[in-house]
Amino acid sequence: MHGPARTARGLLFLLAILLAVACGGDRKEDALPAGSKVLALGDSLTAPHGVKPGEDWPALLAQKTGWVVINAGISGNTSAQALERLPALLEEHQPQLVLVSLGGNDMLRKLSQEQTVANLGRMLDLARASGAKAVLLATPKPSIAGAVFNSLSPADFYADVAKDKKVPLIKDALPEVLSDTALKSDQLHPNAAGHALLGDKIHTQLKKFGFAG
């Protein structure tokens, strides 16, 4: 093979590699069509706590996407309790996507972080074993300074769980909403405006991941 031809072929090969790497880094999930079942597994931050049915963020997400979003939030639930509920929920609803938003009550009750991390990981594993995709939502860590200055941040272990399990993480939606007193019905829970903004933020992130059109 002559020099110029060899050089051109080498350049084309290098370009193909670069394109493959770029596409791999930007790869998005397939969008879920209207009618897809999505399970929102959580605690009182997911349940319509302090708001009317239909004002909770899972219901608002359903309106934005056309998905059938099952609100499986139960006030007071720990990660262990939600993990116990999950197999039956997966069997009953057979969702295409599971949104996991747990851990807040574990932190408030000062339960073992190691066990919380293990429970979250197990939930994500069970969701994917059922054939569903999974997304993790971070809950803010309890903080006196955060409560006083209305500046909450996500607990660090959520990023570790998401990285370990290779699932998308919605990191800032809950902390940002719960940092604004105008968006809360009490010290811990979003009001109707807070749920509306949560629905917007979660929808925006799911669009970035590729799940929502």
Q: Can you give the residue ranges of every domain in the chain?
A: 36-209
Q: Is 44 a catalytic residue?
A: yes
Choosing among 2.40.37.10, 3.30.70.270, 3.40.47.10, 3.40.50.1110, the CATH entry for 36-209 is 3.40.50.1110
Q: Out of 125, 156, 164, 186, pick the active-site residue.
A: 186
Q: What are phi and psi of 62, to 5 degrees?
A: -60, -40
Q: CB atoms < 10 A from the CB of 200, how many? A: 16
Q: Out of 43, 79, 189, 203, pick the active-site residue.
A: 189
In the chain the first and final C-alpha atoms are separated, in Å, by: 48
Q: Is the pLDDT of residue 14 over 50?
A: no
Q: Is 189 a catalytic residue?
A: yes
pLDDT score for 187: 83
Q: Is the pLDDT of residue 84 over 70?
A: yes
pLDDT score for 158: 98
User: Can you tell me the mean pLDDT for 96-114?
Assistant: 97
